[in-house]
Chains A and B, each alone.
Chain A
Amino acid sequence: MLRRLYYDARVRDLFWQIAISVGLVALTIFFVRNASQNMVNAGIASGFDFLWRSSGIDVPFVLTSYTASDSIWALFWAGVANTVFVSVIAMVLATIMGFLIGLARLSSHWLLSTAAGAYVEFVRNIPLLFFVLFWYFGVIAALPQPRDSLGFFSAIFLNNRGLTVPSPLDGSVFRWALLAILLAFAAQWLVARWAAARKARTGQDAPVIAAGLMLCLAVPLLALVIAARATGWDMPQPGRFNLRGGFVIIPEFVALLAALVTYTAGFVAEIVRGGIASVVKGQREAAASLGLRPGQILRFVVVPQALRVMIPPMTSQYLNVLKNSSFGAAIAYPDVVSLFMGSALNNTGQAIEIIAMTLAVYLFFGLIVSALMNWYNARIALVTR
């Protein structure tokens, strides 16, 4: 009987799963009990009440409406916004730069491909922290002191405290402009669909690109100009130490962005190279013999096939950018790690709550990035008939 049970795969499976669950639950209880005991002994406060305390922390670069008199909860969101902001921009720029370097590596020009190869080898084998420090101190050293600011049209100023641009006194008009921009993008999507349908039907190319440029550049520009006319502006003025007024894009942001882009581009370049190399030569030759021009071959034959190979590793690079944005803490870029896990943790001492919330931010946005990339991957997947 027991023998039969022992050799019955289902029984054994069940046994192991129960054993593992029991072990895991026991371990969790053990840890949680120790933690609560230790916290009581140490007199550490717990719970999430601290989030409603006022933070009193000044943040030099805020995208939300946060000010120092707001709550720690608002500080948390200011940090999250900064993390997402730098990550998204870095993802876009790293993709572009990585594509260019990847193409340069595949170029038939010897010096160009060697230089691109050397760049990739250099970048991939150095810790990111070096990049962040290099760019930060490099950027500060390269830019002039506030007294010698570089001015453009006496409205935009560049110095080692950052790039100061005029800021609108009334932000609400910009919300309307943003709405107009979103509408323009939606319209472009509809045009593209219509053009694709027409091409499938009649085989004629529609001027999608031109229409897209019109819709995605001209309309937003127009909307912004109208919005800009509708409000007064806080213009930067030279002050005793620095410029007064305006919105400042801080050097920490620029340095972190540059570090993330130059570092990630090295990895993207390798992915691009691998992706393009994976498209067999015959495909290109077949396309050429059908009479496609080189640009068309690249656009309609090589890139679509290369993309399929590239999407999964690109997803993990985008996730890396998101996680690596936490290196901003090393140079005082006010991201969620620096503001929340640094300043707020120090003022409240509630390590477990704060770390859990910080990790949740990265997991949540990581899931969003993965979901978007999976959706895109499914869209371009090879349809086998």
Chain B
Amino acid sequence: MNPQVRLSSLALWRSRLFSTPLDSAISLVVLAALVWAFAPLVRWALINATWAGETRADCAPGGACWVFIKARFGQFMYGFYPAAERWRPNLFLGLVVAGIVPLFWLHGRARLALGLAALLALPVLGVWLLGGGLGLRPIETRDWGGLMLTLFIAVYAGLIAVPLGILLALGRQSRLPLVRTLSVVFIEFWRGVPIIAVIFLASLLLPLIMPAGVGVDRLARAVIGLGLVIAAYMAEAVRGGLQALPKGQGEAASALGLGYWQTTGLITLPQALRISLPAMTNEFIALIKNTTLVLVVSILDLLGIAQGSLADPAWVGMNMEAYLFSGTIYWLICFALSRWSRSLEAGGPRSH
């Protein structure tokens, strides 16, 4: 190590924290607050924690009992999905990654082709792999749970929300007064009501408005409810992108003789989507956070499984462990997405 560098880094810290008396005072107050808040947490979660063992009796008092998480790990990830079939969600996740990651390197036609193929094939494949049938052992949605279910709900609600949101955003800008009014009413209605009420509404009302004998799966109902709400938010994100486009783009396309759908599909929408991608990602983060509300209709997502496991008499009093563990997973997923969205924003719209 070069002493020069060490000195300068020391100086850097000094200049950052203690350059003036006021700065020093602020630094000390902030540091004291951080220590006060985090020292007990670190002591409990790391230093005094028990990591190895089998049962609650193995855990030392005064520290976290991570044995509990270890014992219940499978449930936190997959819910009551049969252990012998857990390769299926794993495989699906692998396929999704394999379908999406190359999109970052490919360009032009290949990228478009792979993207479209993944978009069309993966959702169907996912329902088949997870749900079974056609040669696979059928596994009902009531056995799904945990992180797997959280991701499933988020992704499939997103698959409803994005296309619907785009249509609504276009509808809001439409020339036809009726379409415009309907889009505005739809968007403002769903944006105005709490999601907890929407999930409840979907689970109660959907079976009621269907013809007798037509059932809608419990999970599908929650996904549809969430999808409709997030579609309204997505529509507003896309509208931002459409409004940010210079009017000349659409006018030039019309002048070249392109019709409405050609202009929209080839010229304005692709550009608008690129601009609104960060905003749409933020809506997707909100969607992931809101999946936690499905527990009001006894669908056991990650948080639901965590809460359910607290009722187990063999593991009484593991509240902190369960919440800290599941909270960290939510945070990691959302944080990674928000970083990605931030980097998109920083990259800015591509110039033509």
- Complex: A in contact with B (CB within 8 Å): yes
List 5 additional A-B contacts (Cβ < 8 Å) besides A20-B178, A366-B192: A115-B30, A125-B285, A130-B292, A329-B296, A355-B201
Given contacts A115-B34, A133-B323, contact A352 B178 (CB under 8 A): no
- Identify which of B16, B197, B330 contacts A125 (C-beta below 8 A): B330
Within 8 Å of chain B (Cβ to Cβ): is A375? no
Contact check, B16 vs A111: say whether CB atoms are below 8 A apart.
Answer: yes
Q: Which residues of B contact A66 (CB under 8 A)?
A: none
- Identify which of B192, B209, B323 contacts A35 (C-beta below 8 A): B209
Given contacts A115-B34, A125-B335, contact A109 B200 (CB under 8 A): no
Contact check, B208 vs A358: say whether CB atoms are below 8 A apart.
Answer: no
Q: Which residues of A contact B334 (CB under 8 A)?
A: 124-126
Is the interface on chain B under 10, 10 to 19, 20 to 34, or 35 or more residues?
35 or more
- Identify which of B182, B189, B196 contacts A363 (C-beta below 8 A): B189
Within 8 Å of chain B (Cβ to Cβ): is A122? yes
A-side interface mostly: helix
Within 8 Å of chain A (Cβ to Cβ): is B204? yes
Contact check, B26 vs A112: say whether CB atoms are below 8 A apart.
Answer: yes
Cα(A121)–Cα(B331), bound, Å: 9
Q: Which residues of A contact B194 (CB under 8 A)?
A: 323-326, 337, 362
Q: Which residues of B contact A24 (CB under 8 A)?
A: 182
Contact check, B178 vs A134: say whether CB atoms are below 8 A apart.
Answer: no
Given contacts A109-B26, A124-B338, contact A319 B205 (CB under 8 A): no
Given contacts A130-B327, A319-B192, contact A17 B208 (CB under 8 A): no
Question: A17 — nearest CB in chain B belongs to which residue?
Answer: B178
B-side interface mostly: helix
Chain A 168-204 near chain B by CB (<8 Å), digits 1 or 0: 0000000000000000000000000000000000000
Instruction: Output the least CB separation between B29 and chain A (Å).
Output: 9
- Identify which of A31, A130, A134 contacts B330 (C-beta below 8 A): A130
What are 14 residue pairs bridging A and B, where the CB atoms are less than 8 Å apart in the complex? Answer: A17-B178, A17-B179, A31-B209, A37-B212, A111-B17, A111-B27, A125-B289, A125-B334, A127-B303, A319-B192, A323-B192, A352-B205, A355-B204, A359-B201
Cα(A366)–Cα(B178), bound, Å: 24
Q: Which residues of A contact B303 (CB under 8 A)?
A: 127, 129-130
Instruction: Output the least CB separation between B28 and chain A (Å).
Output: 10
Q: Which residues of A contact B200 (CB under 8 A)?
A: 341, 355
Instruction: Output the least CB separation between B323 and chain A (Å).
Output: 6
Q: Which residues of A contact B16 (CB under 8 A)?
A: 110-111
Instruction: Output the least CB separation between A263 and chain B (Å).
Output: 10
Within 8 Å of chain B (Cβ to Cβ): is A351? yes
